[in-house]
Amino acid sequence: MKKKFEIGRIFRILSGLLVLTIFTSQCFSQSPAKSTNENSARQYGELLSGLLQFVQSNYVDEVDPAVLYRGALKGMMESLGDPYTVYLDQSSYRSLSDTTEGTFGGVGLSISKPFESTPDKPAYIEVASPIEDTPGYKAGILAGDLIISVEGIDTSTITMDEVLDKLRGKVGEDVHIVIRRGKNMEFPVTLTRAVIEVPVVKYGMIGSIGYMRLIEFTPNTVTRVQEALDSFKKNKATGLIIDLRNNPGGLITSVSDIANKFIDSGVIVSTKSRLAFENQEFKASKMKTTWGSSTPIVVLINKGSASASEILSGALKDYKLAYLVGQRTYGKGSVQQVLPLSSTDGIKLTMARYYTPSDVNIDKIGIPPDREILFPVLSEEGEKQSLELIKSNEIETYVENHPNMSEKQIAEYANVLKAKYPDIDSASLRKLVRNQNNRLKGAMLYDLDYDVQLNEALKILEKEDFYKLVKKTKTLKQLQDEAILEDSSKDGNSSKDDKKGKKK
């Protein structure tokens, strides 16, 4: 009996494999004339469908078809090697919808995850930017920090969806993460989930200069920017600072409408794709321009400025309407569409690449500032001391016992810390104390004591010849052409050296 049973089972499995093999051979035995991409796509689709049915019928345990469906889609998106093209399962799709609507429950961190993980470079979660006045921001987490574990789980070993599931959840509950900053600093942080409301614009006057920080590009950003510009005009601003630091981007329609407030004619941004309907030009209209070119503009950028914020800074640079200060931007020059597959899941797919007015794509390159200004970098000993200070919780304890400290008191306590931690610069110590002092008050609009990039922007607008500076700047196309010429020159010299070596 047992032998008959085994023979019957083997026969059924072999029959299934035979059907699958025949099916496969039929799929790919087409004549060369029919071996087009269209035919290949249909054939592979039929093969996947047959394999799905075979696995579901023959796998040792009963399989939920949804598991196979999600696995196939996730693998399909990952095979493209594009970190921005992803399958959105129920949690991440809901997360994206919540963010678009403006409120969600979480810790307030914009994050990304590398596509590949290797022993030399594990795919830890990277903080693109903290959202202001959220648990992540108040805890002092910075753009560029790595989240190496969440709830005790190594983030390089789990997917972005799994990380999001752990960071998001019931409001009021704690999330335990470990942060890596720089090369050696690692420290635990406990974040209490809160209802996150995404702000889009903050603004105010710094003396006679209008200061406007754009946090994200949403449908609401356009209206808020105009409110800020109207306020600056009312206060007779003599210059404008647009702060795009740590702005992760947003809607291309939003950023093009905002750029149009400064640019009165020409292409603001163009998108290029192999699909004709994705090839678009977003052009400026003089009727929509609300800020005259007679008022100088400085734009602040850093490595957290990505996507739509690069579109705005690139357009203003190419038209020589603004002077860029800070650090090279992130370099995200592609456009994604979110395509729903059902009411609970979908895909985010890269459909095109965008180009600045001078016809340059900055993907993986970024936009360089016209004047690079960097914050002080801690030495190795400074990193160790910072780690020691963070773990000690002494700033939190001191501020708790001395609430509502004045600037004089903040400076005095920072000097006490300086004696104990000499390798941390004084401005950074004052900022740490000030941030802790202001935790319950909300984020400051600006911090002139610490912010060297903002101070440089003010100096340019108040003390330097802005128009002379801008006239000397180069468009992104000119910079790209110079870089190509320099590379070809290096290659040419290298070839000559090789030939000389061979003659010898």
| Partner residues linked to 126 by β-bridges | 112, 146
Rounded distance between C-alpha atoms, residue 466 and residue 240, angstroms: 12
User: Taking a C-beta distance cutoff of 8 angstroms, is the pair 317, 473 a contact?
Assistant: yes
Phi and psi angles of residue 351, each rounded to the nearest 5 degrees, phi first: -110, -20
Rounded distance between C-alpha atoms, residue 268 and residue 65, angstroms: 46
The residue among 426, 451, 469, 432 whose CA lies nearest residue 206 is: 451
What 8-state DSSP symbol labels residue 217?
B
Q: Which residues contact 78 (CB under 8 A, 6 or more apart)?
A: 86, 115
490 — alpha (psi -120 to 50), left (phi > 0) or beta? alpha
Residue of 138, 303, 332, 431 with catalytic role: 332
Positive or negative, the CA dihedral 35, 39, 41, 46 is negative
Rounded distance between C-alpha atoms, residue 291 and residue 276, angstroms: 34
What 8-state DSSP symbol labels residue 375?
P
The residue among 362, 255, 322 whose CA lies nearest residue 471 is: 322
463 is catalytic: no
User: Taking a C-beta distance cutoff of 8 angstroms, is the pair 414, 430 a contact?
Assistant: yes
Residue of 92, 307, 313, 428 with catalytic role: 307
Rounded distance between C-alpha atoms, residue 325 and residue 330, angstroms: 14
Residue of 145, 243, 318, 451 with catalytic role: 318
283 is catalytic: no
Positive or negative, the CA dihedral 357, 360, 362, 367 is negative
Could you tell me the two tokens for 292? 């005259």
332 is catalytic: yes
Q: Which residues contact 14 (CB under 8 A, 6 or more apart)?
A: none
- Residues with catalytic annotation? 307, 318, 332
